[in-house]
Amino acid sequence: MASTIKDVAKKANVSIATVSRILNGQKGYSSNTKGRVLEVIEELGYHPNAVARGLISKRTHTIGVLFPYLSGSLVTDLLRGIEKAASAKGSSVIVCHTESDEEKTMKYLQLLGEKRVDGIIYTSQFLKEEHYQFLNKINVPIVLLSSKSDKFPIPYVKVDDFKAAYSATEYLINKGHVNIGMLSGSEKDRIAGKPRMDGFLKALESNNLPLDKKNIIDTGGFGFDKGAVGFEKLLKVNHGVTAVFAASDELAIGAMFAAYQRGISVPDEISIIGYDNINYANLSVPALTTVQQPFVEMGEMAGNMILDMLETNTIPKSQIVQHEIIERLSVKERS
């Protein structure tokens, strides 16, 4: 149905080679024929077939992005950044939803491999050995976003979770708090779980505060609900907490909700600091003090990284991006 390069060649009385040259901005034709060809292209509404192009050029101008889950502003922010970088250079992005499932992830990697995507961005997920092996075999550029791998030499873009957790905790300490609890998400999460826990612990230690493991509630997840029940648990094991560091904003907001229901005032009785700076953090009551990760920029960086790898055929340096503490109203000086 759609017209091909042949059609325009025929109608313009030139060879397909000439048309191709004009299309790709090469030299080797009179401005006369160029004009004629361009006209015909217009008439026919011809658009080159990217599939055929991809077959011969071995570049599909498509990158694949793997997300463990498809919800929350984290995803849209990262995606927006990635899409921006990609579309700026004429590439598009395929979104895959792995659900943190090993087999699904593998299936998607194979699919992306078969589609000959130019690169893959592996987001918010730990890179398993077999996945790495596969990616290595099909030899496609890859970058880790909001994740990293100690074992494999893959470039990544992320904030230093340990450091960010450290400074969040220290922020609380500097406000005079000494009895501090943590809602830690899931310790099994090697990206967002463990490092933040360690940062929390380290901050206490560096400031000569007692480390009491029971003050760390492994909520088993990062969602609203987990925050509410985690907060209840924390209260049960420690009556005297005056401040809480939550490993995610949803956790923090869930905790504030639980506090509200029990008539505990935030920040007057208990201060809470979150992690992420999701949109809603600005609208919660009280507005949530939190650690910000620049997700849009991170996505853009990751996208550009992949694109650079393709052009320069070299492995870029990993990027540790800076977090920032957004001061709002959920943390207060201890009186």
Binding residues (CB under 8 A) for a copy of itself: these are 1-2, 45, 47-52, 54-55, 60, 62, 64, 70-73, 75-77, 79-80, 83-84, 87, 90, 92-97, 108, 110-116, 137-139, 224, 253-254, 257, 260, 279-280, 282-285
- If binding is defined by CB under 7 A, does position 52 make contact with DNA? yes
Angle, helices 16-23 vs 31-44, to 10°: value is 90
| CB nearer to DNA: pick between 37 and 258 | 37
Minimal distance, residue 142 CB to a copy of itself, in Å: 15
Question: DSSP of 53-102, one letter per residue?
Answer: HHHHHS--SEEEEEES---HHHHHHHHHHHHHHHHHTT-EEEEEE-TT-H
Give the interface segment with DNA, choosing from 16-24, 203-211, 242-250, 287-295 (CB under 7 A): 16-24
Secondary structure class of 157 (helix, strand, coil) = strand
Maximum C-alpha span of the chain: 87
208 binds, among DNA, a copy of itself, none (CB under 5 to 8 A by kind): none
Structure tokens at 264: 């505990």
Using an 8 Å Cβ cutoff, are 121 and 143 in contact? yes
| CB nearer to a copy of itself: pick between 134 and 152 | 134
23 binds, among DNA, a copy of itself, none (CB under 5 to 8 A by kind): DNA
Select from 33, 76, 179, 318 the one that contacts DNA (CB under 7 A): 33
> Where do runs of H (alpha helix) occur along the chain?
5-12, 16-23, 31-44, 50-57, 72-88, 102-114, 129-138, 161-174, 194-206, 224-237, 249-261, 295-312
CA end-to-end distance (rounded Å), the chain: 76
The number of residues that bind DNA (CB under 7 A) is 30
Give the interface segment with DNA, choosing from 6-14, 228-236, 242-250, 256-264 (CB under 7 A): 6-14
263 binds, among DNA, a copy of itself, none (CB under 5 to 8 A by kind): none
Structure tokens at 287: 């507005």
Provide the sign of the torsion angle of the four alpha carbons 128, 130, 133, 138, taken in this order: negative
Minimal distance, residue 62 CB to a copy of itself, in Å: 7
Q: Output Rg (C-alpha) for the chain, integer angstroms.
A: 26
- If binding is defined by CB under 7 A, does position 5 make contact with DNA? yes
> Within 252-311, which residues bind DNA (CB under 7 A)?
none
- If binding is defined by CB under 7 A, does position 206 make contact with DNA? no
21 binds, among a copy of itself, DNA, none (CB under 5 to 8 A by kind): DNA
- If binding is defined by CB under 7 A, does position 29 make contact with DNA? yes
Structure tokens at 200: 């929390």
| CB nearer to DNA: pick between 61 and 175 | 61
Residue whose C-alpha is closest to residue 98's, from 109, 113, 87: 109
- If binding is defined by CB under 7 A, does position 16 make contact with DNA? yes
- Report the interface residues with DNA, using CB under 7 A: 2, 4-6, 13-18, 20-21, 23-24, 26-30, 32-33, 46-49, 52-53, 55-57
